[in-house]
Amino acid sequence: MSNTNQSPSYNVTVLGGGSFGTAIANISAINNHSVSLWMRSEKQADDILESRENSRYLPGYKLHKNLVPSLSLEDSVRCADYVFVAVPSKAFRSVLEEAVPFLQPHAKLISLTKGIEPNSFKLMSQILQEVAPAHEIGVISGPNLAKEIADDQITATVIASYSPKLRAEVQEMLSCQSFRVYGNPDIYGVEMAGAIKNIYAIVAGLAAALGMADNTKAAIITRSLAEMSRFAVRLGANPMTFLGLAGVGDLIVTCTSSLSRNYRVGYYIGEGLTLKQAIKKIGETAEGINTLRMVNDKALELGIYMPLVKGLYAVIYEDMPISAISSKLMSGDLAQDVEFMSDGL
């Protein structure tokens, strides 16, 4: 990954030492920014200092010298121009509340977390707005498998923000020969797509483990896109967002790649493991499991037709046979092929 970035140098902090947080931190470091990677694990921090590797989440990939691990949240954020938050959704608010008192007034906050907060049904951007109302915010989402980013595979992502200036700065900050950053003003749609698609990755993993045909897999992915966009638009998203990288792009990669944590959860369950066994085997957070429960409840509350969500919920939480998903896919009214398209186009 070579640096073609001639933009000003920033002090960048990434909160969370998982695979995607580490990958974004390393791109920032390669692009000549001073980077602090905050993590809770002293062993992980020592590994990075000694071997220049995050051996737990990105083993085998050397990290740039500009990336410095930190165990102190205050030290990490107090000089930051940009703070990227990459902690799991269940810890997002608490970490942010701890960090905000130490932020510089001009610091900008970007979420890297694809999830929904339990109980409140709030997206990470909404938590950022609540906890840090004085700061500009944004969200990064897209088909971004961390190991492929670290391996210099050509990758594209989306920075969503209401601020054109923030979008432009992040595009310059992170773009390089193998990593391209596109802008989108629809922060809600970009983030909702990134959260909901994890549910359908679990469905796709199940389908793969059961040996379903390619026609079936294609039907699952395209009906997933219709279902997730129907849900998100009802809650205020722009339907066009789902035709871009954060929508169909992320859905394709997470529903087809064995590098996707949620896909693997579905695959292992399809092979006969329990949910608990599947999660333990992966060793990382699979946000789709928590998102499934929340989206199913919200869809019932609002009366939104989501047969795939309903089928997966029955399998995961109600011990229904896996055939429930295929029956849900083929049940119900004969619907319109493309959501939001009228007879007059």
Catalytic positions are: 197
Six-digit token string for 178: 């193998």
**How far apart (Å, rounded) are the C-alpha atoms in residues 172 and 169?**
5
DSSP string, 141-173: ESS--HHHHHTT--EEEEEE-S-HHHHHHHHHH
Q: Nearest to residue 244, comparing CAs of 159, 306, 161?
A: 159
Six-digit token string for 255: 């529903």
Q: Where are the alpha helices (DSSP H) in the chain?
A: 19-30, 42-51, 73-77, 89-99, 124-131, 146-150, 164-174, 187-209, 214-234, 250-256, 261-270, 275-282, 287-302, 307-318, 323-329
Q: What's 260-300 look like in SS3?
A: CHHHHHHHHHHCCCCHHHHHHHHCCCCHHHHHHHHHHHHHH
Task: Give the position of tokens 């890297």.
Answer: 112
Q: Nearest to residue 287, comparing CAs of 23, 39, 14, 89?
A: 89
| Distances in whole angstroms, Cα of residue 343 to Cα of each of 10, 78, 228, 338 | 51, 55, 22, 11
